[in-house]
Amino acid sequence: MSARKRTLDTHPLTYCIDAARGPLDLKDYEAVGGYAGLRKAIRELTPLDVQAQVKQANLRGRGGAGFPTGIKWGLVPMGDAHDGGPKYVVCNADEMEPGTFKDRLLMEQAPHLMVESMIASGYAVGASTGYIFLRGEYIESARNLNKALAQARAAGLLGDNILGSGWSYDCFVHTGAGRYICGEETALINSLEGRRANPRAKPPFPAISGVWGRPTVVNNVETLCNVPAIVLNGGEWFRGLSQGKSKDGGTKLYGCSGRANTPGCWELPFGTTSREILEVHAGGMRGGKKLKAWLPGGASTDFLLPEHLDLPMDFDTISKAGSRMGTGLITVVAEDQSMVSAVRNLEEFFSRESCGWCTPCRDGLPWSVRILKAIERGEGRPGDIEKLMRLTRDLGPGRTFCAHAPGAMEPLQSAIKFFRSEFESGIRASASAVTA
């Protein structure tokens, strides 16, 4: 991504990214508009003003759930409602959703954007400390972020009395052990505190009782990286970046993986269709194969079909189609790929990554893997598909402690719905062998 082809006005996430050049240092980042949003926030706006701009921008969480960021921040006690103790901002940078790699791009190539975002967000909620909870395997991200943090401290942008405002705030990189469950915000908080990464019961929600029992905001990398541009240019400007393609504001880091000609990640207006992502930016299907199915945003979303490609990629539209937009990085499946094998691979991942806290998830996910492996080998038994469907209900929303198992069931239930004959072929092969 070349900085010469992008500006802050049109590409607030990637304007400073040029993979051939590498990440900008502090001086060069400021030369292209870096830290201007932070300076405006601290010198011209109150924390509540910043929150109001983020609400006006309709910035929805880019981690998968799509919860409005300004509303989440508004839950944090402010003014007379706050007891004067510490508050925290935590960046969820534990990017482990299969098929998703957008946050890595931002942290490796634009570390100062991440740092500015953490400081501006800390100012908006009156926090004293920020933590970037980073996936342990993201070694280059950790190196670049720590370098950017050191440069920001030396420039008086981080630490005591930032820009002479009287407000003090520091930020640290915390590398995790690399578990998928840390994508759940309360499991992340437990891990940050040195505990086992199990989800917590809610309420209370982190905005009231998070890190060490204190008010805490947890947001995704891409979500936070939009904040400086919103502060600098305003909420209405941000909403306009979607170019009328969606009521959701701004741009989005969309991507494509799987059997596409040129997999990658691109900043596009919110509401861009999957057809454009796949056929224009990713160069279409590899080898001239036809598209069989696709996941809209990571492994924990329902499969959609080729006829869904022209739908705008936004939260509400994809939800109405029977899936979730998730992280917005699509994964494509070619016509010659087995859906049973594809789903078995996903369920093995989810089974391995279960924290084991609740019985349906701990025992149900391995059970689904055993059944899928038998069907994949052609050794499935009559009733196996019905067992899998029962598992999608028993491990569905409201049946488990967190959303891990329900998310794991989404690709399974949709694969059976659209491609049941592929599952049945594994049952028939087994029945024929027994008869013979």
Residue 344 scores a pLDDT above 90? yes
Contact of 100 with 64, CB cutoff 8 Å: no
For residue 247, the model assigns a pLDDT of 87
Residue 76 scores a pLDDT above 70? yes
**Number of residues assigned to the chain:** 436
CA 335 – CA 71 distance, rounded (Å): 42
CA 109 – CA 19 distance, rounded (Å): 7
64: confidence class by pLDDT, cuts 50, 70, 90: confident
pLDDT digits 0-9 by tens, 365-423: 999 999 999 999 999 999 999 999 999 999 999 999 999 999 999 999 999 999 999 99
Mean pLDDT, the chain, as a whole number? Answer: 94
Question: For 406, what's the count of Cα atoms within 13 Å in the CB-facing half-sphere?
Answer: 11
Per-residue pLDDT averaged across 85-101, rounded?
94
Going from the N-terminus, what domains does the chain have, and what CATH number goes with each?
A: 3-240 (3.40.50.11540), 251-334 (3.10.20.600), 339-435 (1.20.1440.230)
Kind of pairing between the strands at 170-175 and 216-220: unpaired
Longest Cα separation, the chain: 84
For residue 4, the model assigns a pLDDT of 45
For residue 430, the model assigns a pLDDT of 56
pLDDT digits 0-9 by tens, 139-192: 999 999 999 999 999 999 999 999 999 999 999 999 988 789 998 999 999 999
Chain-centre distance of CA 288, in angstroms?
A: 30
For residue 6, the model assigns a pLDDT of 77
pTM given for the model = 0.93
pLDDT digits 0-9 by tens, 202-247: 999 999 999 999 999 999 999 999 999 999 999 999 999 999 899 8
2: confidence class by pLDDT, cuts 50, 70, 90: very low
* Selection from 100, 90, 49 nearest residue 252 by Cα: 100
Residue 1 scores a pLDDT above 70? no
**Percent of the chain whose predicted confidence (pLDDT) is above 90:** 87
Count the neighbouring beta carbons within 10 Å of the beta carbon of residue 85.
11
Residue 358 scores a pLDDT above 50? yes
Question: Side chain identity at 159, as an amino acid letter?
Answer: G
Residue 429 scores a pLDDT above 80? no
Per-residue pLDDT averaged across 71-94, rounded?
94
For residue 436, the model assigns a pLDDT of 44
Residue 435 scores a pLDDT above 90? no
Residue 332 scores a pLDDT above 80? yes
pLDDT digits 0-9 by tens, 5-48: 678 889 999 999 988 889 999 999 999 999 999 999 999 999 99
128: confidence class by pLDDT, cuts 50, 70, 90: very high
* Selection from 216, 196, 173, 222 nearest residue 327 by Cα: 222
Per-residue pLDDT averaged across 250-265, rounded?
96
CA 295 – CA 283 distance, rounded (Å): 17
pLDDT digits 0-9 by tens, 277-316: 999 999 999 999 999 999 999 999 999 999 999 999 999 9
For residue 275, the model assigns a pLDDT of 97
Radius of gyration of the chain (CA): 22
